[in-house]
Amino acid sequence: MSRLSVHATALSLMLASTSALAHAELQTSSPAADATVQTAPSEVAIEFTEGVEPKFSAIEVHDSQGMHIDNGDTHAAFDNTKRLAVSLKTAPARHL
C-alpha cells in the first residue's frame, strides 16, 4: 500500500469586486488528503467551491519522505473550472 500526502496550494487566488473579496475553498480531492492507496495514481485532482484561475494556482504532491512527486503541470478540467489536477511522476516501487 502507498501513502499519499496531498497538499494543495491556491496561490494568490483572490477575486476582487468593488465591495468584497471572494476566496475559493478546497471542497474535495482525489485521492482524498492523506489517503492510503493500493497503487500510485497518475494524477491528483482537487475541486474548489467556485471556479479558479489555473495560472494563479498550483498543486504540490509530496510522498511520505517529503519528496516532490508531481510534474508541476497544474491544469483546470476542460469542462469544470472548479476542478484542478496535476499529473504525478512515475514512482518506483516504494512507500509513497
pLDDT at site 21:
52
Is there a domain that residue 92 lies in? no
pLDDT at site 7:
46
Is there a domain that residue 77 lies in? yes
Query: Based on the structure, what is the number of domains in the chain?
Result: 1
Residue ranges making up the domain that contains 26: 2-87
pLDDT at site 61:
86
Please state the separation of Cα 75 from the chain's center in Å.
9
CA distances to 5, 22, 39, 96 from 91, in Å: 14, 37, 10, 8
pLDDT at site 13:
33
pLDDT tens, residue order, the chain (96 aa): 445 555 443 333 333 333 345 678 889 999 988 787 878 889 999 999 999 888 888 888 888 788 889 999 999 988 899 999 999 998 554 444
pLDDT at site 14:
34
Is there a domain that residue 95 lies in? no
Cα Rg of the chain (Å, integer): 14
